[in-house]
Structure 1
Amino acid sequence: MPLPSSSHFVLIPSYNPGAKVFDTVQAARAQWAPVWVVVDGSTDGTAEQLQALAEQDEGLEVFVLPTNQGKGSAVLHGLDEAARRGFTHALTMDSDGQHPAELIPRFMQASARRPDAMILGKPVFDASAPLLRVRGRKVSNAWANLETLWMGIGDSLYGFRVYPVEPLRKVMRGQRWMRRFDFDPEAVVRLAWQGVQPVNLDAPVKYFSAGEGGVSHFNYLRDNTLLTWMHSRLLAGFLLRLPVLIWRRWIGSRR
């Protein structure tokens, strides 16, 4: 098992993920310490089993929220605790086994080289990826790149990424949004507005069928409505910030 880091930790928000969460946690622990799981009001019994695992593993810590509050809220809970303990960077990954735990060290090393940046996973899809999901995310990516004046966000939706803790906490505490499914794209856009540069690294993504133990909470109508509302808000914010964003790009081009 790796020695624990005092600056970087793995943060896994989890809501009714099924048995895949145990594979995810064990794979993450094989690569990094500490690993934190924030159970977001799960009702499938995984919270108790994860707590039992944590009792046997000093590198694993489990936080249990009493009710389901959304992915963003679970992440913020972890960030607040991380700030209290002096951690500076959090690698977020989903609990359902879709993200590549073996790349955790590479992403952490990239963050150590660029602590001012956000290290964003850029998904590499295989045949398991639903075509509608692959095509649909192109719309969100196009909006995110427009809203940041093409700062270089490779993928706005892929949640395997390393955030600097304090900039993200400041952004989230500064407004009421970024608490549910639409957390990931709003986080990168708002951090880009604050001058946090993106660094993109390719990372595979695996979609598991129900027969393989895959669990999906994605609802096309509900979640695409959330994304549409989110990008409407961000577009308004982009227009207000446009002079500043243009100035930054101009200054950056002269360096």
Structure 2
Amino acid sequence: MSDSSLFDPSGHLVLIPSYNPGEKVFETLAAARAQWSPVWVVVDGSTDGTTERLLALAQTDPGLRVLVLPENQGKGAAILYGLLEAQKAGFTHVLTMDADGQHPAERIPDFMQQSRLAPEAMILGKPVFAADAPKLRVYGRQVSNTWANLETLWMGIGDSLFGFRVYPIEPLKKIMLRHRWMRRFDFDPEAVVRLCWAGVRPINVPTTVRYFTAEEGGVSHFNYLRDNLLLTGMHTRLFLGFLWRLPKLLVRRLFSRSG
């Protein structure tokens, strides 16, 4: 398939935040480019030598752009930087995916089509885990999902943590610029909760996910204590925001059901 046939004129691009991803980023990038153009990578202060190689690839691939942050700022910060640059370039939606190969690049066209059919919505991957997925990660995310659904009065968030998603740029940009703490690992659940509060409808699409072992080249920056503390703090402030918004959310839910 030619690169021109992959280009989408409706304003959608693939955005990949990348921090010390190892060799998997090149597999992820090749898989994404086989499905879509353009693809942008935001290098979040990587120190593993991948930055220079990514920049070199961008020199020979017109469908690839590499943006570089000089210091590690966090996943949310990398995505916000990409959002702002994408909107300046005229894009309206971004599909975010991780650089570590866990997300299925072959689903990119399907997610983009879902977004084109409902441009006002966010398209959320709902992970389908293989038998070898780490049980602690699989069961642990259920806690975040429960809180996210409570905080939105069950608007329909299938999974709060899975980062394979299509976001409409404008509402997410406005939210992130108002809330300066949406910059690190806990960005994903906070983004979907606050977008629900803003009236952005979630559409869930079941999606396979794969966890790679270190022997397979997998790289994980997840720190159980640090990142669970981040999630706890994030859901604490979201729950307080939920209580303040509860009357408005109740009215919205009543009208949506009656309609």
TM-score (norm 2): 0.97
Residue 3, structure 1, aligned to residue 2, structure 2 = no
Partners of 1:175 and 1:204 lie apart in 2 by: 31
Q: Counterpart of 2:241 in structure 1: which amino acid?
A: G
Which residue of 2 is the match for residue 72 of structure 1? 76
Return 5+ residue gaps in structure 1 as ranges. Answer: none
Alignment gaps of 5+ in structure 2: none
- Cα deviation digits, residues 200-226 of structure 1 (max 9, x gap): 001100000000000000000000000
Q: Are 1:165 and 2:173 counterparts?
A: no
CA RMSD of aligned residues (A): 0.6
Which of the residues 150, 162, 180 maps onto 1:146? 150
The answer to whether the aligner puts 1:250 opposite 2:254 as a matched pair is yes
Conserved 8 A contact 2:15-2:95:
yes
**Aligned pair 1:234/2:238, yes or no?**
yes
How far does the alpha carbon of each residue in 1:82-108 deviate from its partner, in whole angstroms, 9 at most, with x for none?
111110000000000000000000000
Name the count of aligned residue pairs.
255
Contact 1:24 1:101 in 2 (8 A): yes
Residue of 38, 42, 46 corresponding to 1:38:
42
**Structure 1 position 254, deviation (Å):** 1.1
Residues 26-60 of structure 1 show CA distances to partners (whole Å, capped at 9, x for unaligned) of 00000000000000000000010001111110000
1:175 is displaced (CA, Å) by 1.5
Deviation at 1:176, TM superposition (A): 1.3
Q: How do 1:1-255 residues align onto structure 2 when only pairs under 5 Å count?
A: 1=3, 2-6=5-9, 7-255=11-259
- 3-state SS of 1:107 partner: helix
In the alignment, the residues of structure 2 paired with residue 5 and residue 177 of structure 1 have an alpha-carbon distance, to the nearest angstrom, of 32
Alpha-carbon displacement from aligned partner over 1:218-253 (angstroms, at most 9, x marks no partner): 000000000000000000000000000000001111
Distance 1:94 1:135 in 2: 20
State the SS of the aligned residue for 2:155.
Answer: coil
Q: How many angstroms apart in 2 are the aligned matches of 1:88 and 1:160?
A: 17
Q: What secondary structure, in the 3-state scheme, does the structure 2 residue paired with 1:176 have?
A: coil
